[in-house]
């Protein structure tokens, strides 16, 4: 693979962010000073745009979100009702800034009253005990999805929760946490669907939970419980920048969930899923922790050829079971990430990066910290059609060919060549050795100011 061009240091990349933000906001760059180690309080996060050449989302016109928003389209919100109002109905696509202050609980009504799973199911006729009795594999069988009165009631209760916790983000929008306020959304999902030019920054997404998972006896060898609601979901979205966010199941960890039909009652779906022909996405300097199915790129093997182009860089993955990411079809660049695969709070690694359905992945200059009991052959995965190229990856500080390690242990081999060469690589560091230390203090929500 040819050596990627446009490599810049982190210091230069951060300067580019400020310059781009100043240009979009109409402010002279000389008025904005950003220290390489800590963000300056003079930087207006809400008006920043993605820097030039910073991953796939910088392609074409780039990603500016709501940087040009006028006063009428600039909102500060601290409740669920205020967030819904600020996002609007979707018909108004004028640039929009939504500043989140403090933590918004999605499971509240318009008056701010806390809502429980029982509130959503009230009047639907749904009962978990009755559902479990109705679809017990011993009597219902394992060849078909649930159907009938209890499944209809479950779906109705789930839809009622969805109406409350799903926030639809319009085009040309920046949703950003106000520094110093512990900004975030608990129990909710940002849905970025069929729109262009969205920025999500400086937010903690915690405990996104589905009260009403569906039993699917045909999923896998023993069936599975499947839930709705990713913390952030992209469906047919383009030019999206997700930066300096934190994603976690806490405080509702998987280890606290019961087991039914011999399978975990899974109330969590994805953290950040990129599907249904989404394209031109940059995911950088986020923290993903305490989660199972973390990032899905491509919803199926026939999702969208020619799209699903995603850059993933300078993120921390800790206590992640799988999908970091799972990639299908697209051209995905994974660089300068730090993976700590030590077991955490019951979350045990299955794999980190999975390349399926002819995905064209370049993974370079990443750092894995693994326990002595773990095999390097578990870090990558594939179906025999996907590719992973790239080098410079370190495992516990030692350069390691992760594709070779995987292929030596599996019959379905990862391919080692791709049909593209990354060019939009601002900030790429050609050595991964300092990533564990560097990213500990420069990633996730709350480090920007």
- Catalytic amino acids? 323
β-pair type (224-226, 214-216): antiparallel
Query: What's the distance, CA 380 to chain centroid?
Result: 19
405 by DSSP, 3-state: which?
A: helix
Please choose, from the candidates 381, 39, 104, 16, the residue with its C-alpha nearest in 3D space to the C-alpha of residue 244. 39
Element (H, E) at 407: helix 402-409
For the chain, the residue count is 449
114 by DSSP, 3-state: which?
A: strand
408 by DSSP, 3-state: which?
A: helix
222 by DSSP, 3-state: which?
A: coil
Measured CA to CA, the distance from residue 373 to residue 82 in angstroms comes to: 49
Element (H, E) at 332: strand 331-335
| Strand segments (E) across 55-195 | 74-77, 96-100, 103-105, 166-168, 173-177, 184-186, 189-193
Please choose, from the candidates 400, 305, 416, 411, the residue with its C-alpha nearest in 3D space to the C-alpha of residue 355. 416
């Amino acid at each position: 693979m040819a050596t990627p061009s446009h490599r810049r240091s982190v210091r230069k990349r951060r300067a580019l962010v400020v310059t781009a933000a100043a240009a979009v906001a109409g402010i002279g760059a000389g008025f904005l000073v950003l220290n390489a180690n800590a963000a300056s309080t003079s930087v207006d996060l809400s008006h920043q745009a993605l820097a030039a050449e910073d991953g796939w989302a910088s392609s074409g016109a780039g990603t500016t979100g709501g940087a040009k928003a006028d006063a009428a389209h600039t909102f500060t919100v601290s409740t669920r009702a205020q967030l819904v109002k600020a996002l609007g109905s979707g018909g108004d696509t004028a640039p929009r800034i939504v500043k989140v202050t403090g933590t918004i609980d999605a499971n509240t009504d318009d008056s701010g009253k806390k809502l429980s799973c029982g509130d959503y199911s009230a009047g639907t006729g749904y009962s978990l005990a009755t559902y479990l009795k109705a679809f017990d594999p011993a009597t219902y069988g394992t060849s078909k999805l649930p159907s009938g009165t209890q499944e209809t009631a479950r779906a109705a209760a789930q839809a009622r929760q969805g109406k409350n916790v799903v926030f639809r983000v319009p085009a040309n929008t920046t949703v950003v946490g106000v520094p110093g306020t512990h900004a975030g959304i608990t129990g909710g999902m940002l849905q970025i669907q069929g729109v262009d030019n969205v920025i999500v920054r400086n937010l903690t997404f915690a405990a996104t939970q589905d009260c009403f998972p569906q039993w699917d006896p045909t999923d896998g060898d023993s069936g599975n419980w499947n839930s709705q609601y990713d913390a952030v979901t992209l469906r047919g979205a383009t030019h999206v920048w997700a930066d300096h966010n934190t994603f976690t199941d806490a405080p509702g960890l998987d280890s606290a969930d019961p087991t039914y039909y011999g399978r975990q009652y899974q109330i969590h779906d994805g953290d950040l899923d990129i599907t249904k022909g989404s394209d031109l996405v940059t995911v950088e300097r986020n923290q993903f922790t305490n989660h199972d199915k973390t990032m899905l790129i491509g919803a199926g093997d026939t999702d969208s050829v020619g799209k699903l182009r995603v850059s993933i860089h300078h993120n921390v993955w800790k206590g992640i079971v799988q999908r970091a990411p799972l990639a299908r079809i697209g051209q995905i660049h994974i660089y300068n990430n730090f993976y700590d695969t030590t077991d955490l709070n019951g979350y045990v690694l299955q794999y980190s990066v999975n390349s399926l359905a002819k995905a064209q992945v370049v993974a370079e200059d990443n750092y894995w910290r693994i326990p002595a009991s773990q095999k390097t052959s578990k870090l990558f995965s594939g179906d025999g059609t996907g590719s992973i190229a790239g080098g410079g990856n370190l495992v516990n500080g030692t350069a390691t060919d992760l594709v070779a390690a995987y292929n030596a242990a599996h019959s379905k081999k990862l391919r080692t060549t791709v049909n593209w060469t990354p060019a939009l690589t601002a900030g790429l560091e050609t050595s991964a050795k300092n990533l564990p230390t560097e990213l500990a203090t420069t990633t996730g929500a709350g480090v920007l100011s």
